[in-house]
């Protein structure tokens, strides 16, 4: 592989390669066969980086089927706000882990890993290449590193208390609680990710600290990330948010609310819905809601890059080469 000598614009650990991506994957598949290990191709990167388009292209080239690694696209009825791929965009490539639970249903990391592994193994049995595609770093790491996640039932009383404390005292107050009971995982979970913060506290209070207990990997794994110059990525994020508004994000949010999924529903904390809710509620103009949506999404992309920066085994492909 021919390494690009200029790594100044790489915001992540790992190596930025100028080699042909098809050659990289072909070598990986040969290696998997030699090792007699099942292959798992991972396509990762921040939001709006082009993972969907690249994954379809590679799936058609290498006989792949796609397992989503997006923590919000598991929810039904939330299509525009989560930038969920539509049937036409799939171009005949099977996709899994989309639209599997209602927005008000409990869906844990353990649920995700268990269900995703079932799909991966079924894809392999068909002689196809399983492809894990998305930007939820914890989902990707849990699968690739084969986490053994403790099963702890939800503590609704504690959960309600913590949610109320976030509203009344702020997310930092509750995040400090996590740091006290589980400092190891507090370093890995962003304070803004209320659902994971609350769940980690819940598990710790149950007496089972949410540790990264992992076994030998089940698969031979190749991680490919899409790297953009930061300003170019932000341009893509801003443009996509505008398109989401044009496609009907306001009506989608209104429909969700009308169906009983109000802004307190955990799934509705996804980017886009809280900002549009403020517009619907008369707190912001539509232009102000869009601007807030764009800013929050850019901040989210920063957090994703911070997470992926810790991954040292990613082959980073310049986004400009994929256009």
Contact partners, residue 103, CB within 8 Å, separation at least 6: 75, 76, 77, 78, 256, 261, 265, 266, 267, 268
The per-residue pLDDT for 67 is 98
Same domain? 186 vs 78? no
Same domain? 180 vs 198? yes
Same domain? 145 vs 26? yes
Same domain? 23 vs 92? yes
Same domain? 59 vs 163? no
Name the pTM for this structure: 0.80
Same domain? 82 vs 219? yes
**Which H or E run contains 66?**
strand 64-68
315, 45 Cβ separation under 8 angstroms: no
For the beta carbon of residue 278, count every other beta carbon within 10 angstroms.
Answer: 17
Same domain? 239 vs 122? no
- CATH number of the domain enclosing 98: 3.40.50.300
The per-residue pLDDT for 9 is 37
pLDDT in tens, 60-109: 999 999 999 999 999 999 999 999 999 999 999 999 999 999 999 989 88
Backbone angles phi, psi at 210, to 5 degrees: -75, 80
- Which of these ranges, 53-57, 130-134, 147-151, 262-266, has the smallest mean pLDDT? 147-151
The per-residue pLDDT for 237 is 98
Q: Above 80 in pLDDT, residue 313?
A: yes
Same domain? 163 vs 258? no
pLDDT in tens, 210-233: 455 556 788 999 999 999 999 999
Instruction: Give the three-class secondary structure for 84.
Output: coil
The per-residue pLDDT for 323 is 60
Q: Which residue has the higher pLDDT, 213 or 173?
A: 173
pLDDT in tens, 6-34: 333 334 444 444 458 899 999 999 999 99
Same domain? 187 vs 56? no
The per-residue pLDDT for 19 is 56
The per-residue pLDDT for 61 is 95
CA max distance for the chain: 61
Same domain? 224 vs 85? yes
Same domain? 308 vs 284? no
Backbone angles phi, psi at 80, to 5 degrees: -70, -45
> Into how many domains does the chain fold?
3
The per-residue pLDDT for 3 is 34
The label of the residue with tokens 């292209």 reads: 57
- CATH number of the domain enclosing 248: 1.10.287.890
- Which of these ranges, 10-19, 95-104, 271-280, 299-308, has the smallest mean pLDDT? 10-19
The per-residue pLDDT for 7 is 31
Task: Tell me, yes or no, whether 2 lies in a domain.
Answer: no
Task: Tell me, yes or no, whether 281 lies in a domain.
Answer: yes
Residue 163 burial (10 A CB sphere; 0-12, 13-18, 19+): middle
Task: Tell me, yes or no, whether 3 lies in a domain.
Answer: no
CB-based contacts of 207-210 (< 8 A; 24+ apart in sequence): 208/150, 208/152, 209/182, 209/184, 209/185, 210/149, 210/150, 210/182, 210/185
Q: Above 60 in pLDDT, residue 234?
A: yes
The label of the residue with tokens 């619907």 reads: 280
What is the span of the domain harbouring residue 188?
156-205
- Which of these ranges, 111-115, 193-197, 242-246, has the smallest mean pLDDT? 193-197
Q: Above 80 in pLDDT, residue 322?
A: no
From CA 221, how far away is CA 120, in angstroms rounded?
Answer: 12
Same domain? 315 vs 238? no
* Angle separating helix axes 286-309 and 137-144, nearest 10 degrees: 30
């Amino acid at each position: 592989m021919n390494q690009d000598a200029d790594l100044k614009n790489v915001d992540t650990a790992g190596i930025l390669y100028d080699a042909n991506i098809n050659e990289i994957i072909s070598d990986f598949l040969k290696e998997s066969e030699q090792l007699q290990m099942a292959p798992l191709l991972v396509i990762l990167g921040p939001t709006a980086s082009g993972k969907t388009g690249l994954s379809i292209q590679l799936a058609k080239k290498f006989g792949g089927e796609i397992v989503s690694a997006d923590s919000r696209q598991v929810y039904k009825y939330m299509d525009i706000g989560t930038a969920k791929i539509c049937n036409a965009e799939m171009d005949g490539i099977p996709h899994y882990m989309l639209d599997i639970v209602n927005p008000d249903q409990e869906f844990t990391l353990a649920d995700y890993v268990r269900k995703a592994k079932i799909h991966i193994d079924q894809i392999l049995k068909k002689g196809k290449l399983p492809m894990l595609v998305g930007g939820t770093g914890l989902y990707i790491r849990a699968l690739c590193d084969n986490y053994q996640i403790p099963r702890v039932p939800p503590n609704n009383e504690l959960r309600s208390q913590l949610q109320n404390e976030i509203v009344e005292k702020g997310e930092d107050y509750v995040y400090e609680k996590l740091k006290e009971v589980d400092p190891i995982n507090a370093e890995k979970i962003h304070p803004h990710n209320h659902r994971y913060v609350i769940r980690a506290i819940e598990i710790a209070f149950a007496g089972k600290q949410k540790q990264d207990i992992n076994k030998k990997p089940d698969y031979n794994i190749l991680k490919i990330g899409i790297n953009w110059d930061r300003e170019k990525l932000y341009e893509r994020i801003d443009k996509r948010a505008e398109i989401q508004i044009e496609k009907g994000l306001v009506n989608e949010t209104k429909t969700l609310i009308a169906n009983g999924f109000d802004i307190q529903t955990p799934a509705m904390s996804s980017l886009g819905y809280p900002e549009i809710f403020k517009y619907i509620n008369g707190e912001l103009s539509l232009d102000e809601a869009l601007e807030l949506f764009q800013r929050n999404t850019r901040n989210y992309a920063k957090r994703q890059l911070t997470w992926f920066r810790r991954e040292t085994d990613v082959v980073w492909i310049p986004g400009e080469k994929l256009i």
